[in-house]
């Protein structure tokens, strides 16, 4: 039985003050609730420290939105896995489509980051997904397969015991246009089968595969009630405490 995970990707939003407000609102909204869902927030680097303080003694976990694969050194502007650990991060989003398209991250770079994350005790939320053009050309499965094979290359099943995959069709991110539950389920099933071929059936059965791309309170329940959709990676809707909480509740 897989426990669903709902993660909020804040992207480049919220300074310290608005981070405090949002976290307190989420905390208050979730207080007194029996959660059988895991909740993760991924604020920008500058708010990780305060976030870590504020979520102490709550069920909310902390994640970062990116990291570099080296532990330290002359890498101006980068953040290492050790730094993320020291500030209280348990999770790290890697390979997000905005990192791939705006910042030119390749499957090879993402592979190094995933390896480094697991070596350093962080749980990767590994994002994959096709563009609209790729979907219209009928290449969805091919693209997703390449991203998975290259992204996880050389990393063993044991090392990946805390891996989460987030299927995020690029055409659904920030567009308001989500994949239908059927479209998403079809790809999630494909991913689980592929993982079972690359690794083992047991590993594939336990793997958390989140859906991301315009998840909102209005569509989250239908998406997450599909058998292979184990939670959500939420962008825009996680910036409003009320809608993030509704999405978490819909995963129960």
Which residue is closest to ligand PGA by CB?
235
CB of 239 to ligand PGA, least distance (A): 9
Q: Which of residues 223-252 bind ligand PGA (CB under 6 A)?
A: 233-237
> Does 215 interact with ligand PGA (rule: CB under 6 A)?
yes
> Does 111 interact with ligand PGA (rule: CB under 6 A)?
no
> Does 210 interact with ligand PGA (rule: CB under 6 A)?
no
Q: Are 229 and 251 a contacting pair, CB within 8 Å?
A: no
When binding is defined by CB under 6 A, the residue of 168, 207, 247, 251 that contacts ligand PGA is 168
CB of 218 to ligand PGA, least distance (A): 12
Q: Which CB, 178 or 228, lies closer to ligand PGA?
A: 178
CB of 215 to ligand PGA, least distance (A): 5
Question: What are the φ and ψ backbone dihedral angles of 48, each rounded to 5 degrees?
Answer: -65, -40
Total residues at interface with ligand PGA (CB under 6 A): 13
CB of 34 to ligand PGA, least distance (A): 26
What string of DSSP letters covers 166-230? EE--GGGTTTS-PPPHHHHHHHHHHHHHHHHHHS-HHHHHH-EEEEESS--HHHHHHHHTSTT--
CB of 213 to ligand PGA, least distance (A): 5
Q: Are 210 and 231 a contacting pair, CB within 8 Å?
A: yes
Closest C-alpha among 7, 22, 209, 187 to residue 90: 7
* Among 130, 168, 185, 188, the one annotated catalytic: 168
Alpha helices in the chain (DSSP H): 16-30, 48-54, 81-86, 97-103, 107-119, 132-136, 140-151, 181-198, 201-206, 217-224, 241-250
> Does 143 interact with ligand PGA (rule: CB under 6 A)?
no
When binding is defined by CB under 6 A, the residue of 174, 200, 202, 205 that contacts ligand PGA is 174
| 168 has catalytic annotation | yes
Vertex 21, ends 18 and 22: CA angle to 5°? 85
Provide the phi-psi class of 73: left if phi over 0, else alpha when psi is between -120 and 50, else beta: left
- Burial level of 151, CB count in 10 A (0-12/13-18/19+)? buried
CB of 8 to ligand PGA, least distance (A): 9
> Does 9 interact with ligand PGA (rule: CB under 6 A)?
yes
Quick one: which segment of 82-90, 139-147, 210-218, 243-251 binds ligand PGA (CB under 6 A)?
210-218
Angstrom distance (rounded) from CA 173 to CA 130: 11
Q: Which CB, 151 or 235, lies closer to ligand PGA?
A: 235
Residues recognised as catalytic = 96, 168
Residues of this chain that bind ligand PGA (CB under 6 A): 9, 168, 173-174, 212-215, 233-237
């Amino acid at each position: 039985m897989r426990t669903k995970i709902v993660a909020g990707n804040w992207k480049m939003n919220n300074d310290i003050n608005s981070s405090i407000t949002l976290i307190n609102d989420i905390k208050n909204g979730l207080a007194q609730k029996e959660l059988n869902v895991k909740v993760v927030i991924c604020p920008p680097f500058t708010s990780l420290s305060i976030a870590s303080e504020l979520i102490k003694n709550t069920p909310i976990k902390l994640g970062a939105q990116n990291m570099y694969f080296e532990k330290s050194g002359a890498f101006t502007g980068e953040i290492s896995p050790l730094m993320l650990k020291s500030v209280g991060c348990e999770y790290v989003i890697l390979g997000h489509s905005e990192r791939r398209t705006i910042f030119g991250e390749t499957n090879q770079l993402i592979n190094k980051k995933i390896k480094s994350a697991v070596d350093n005790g962080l749980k990767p939320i590994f994002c994959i997904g096709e563009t609209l053009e790729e979907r219209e050309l009928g290449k969805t499965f091919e693209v997703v397969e390449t991203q998975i094979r290259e992204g996880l290359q050389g990393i063993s099943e044991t090392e990946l015991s805390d891996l989460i995959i987030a299927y995020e069709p690029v055409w659904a991110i920030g567009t308001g246009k989500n994949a239908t539950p059927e479209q998403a389920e079809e790809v999630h099933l494909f991913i689980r089968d592929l993982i079972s071929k690359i690794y083992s059936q047991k590993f594939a059965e336990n793997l958390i595969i989140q859906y991301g791309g315009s998840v909102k309170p209005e569509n989250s329940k239908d998406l997450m009630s599909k058998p292979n959709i184990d939670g959500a990676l939420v962008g825009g809707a996680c910036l409003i405490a009320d809608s993030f909480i509704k999405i978490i509740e819909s995963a129960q």
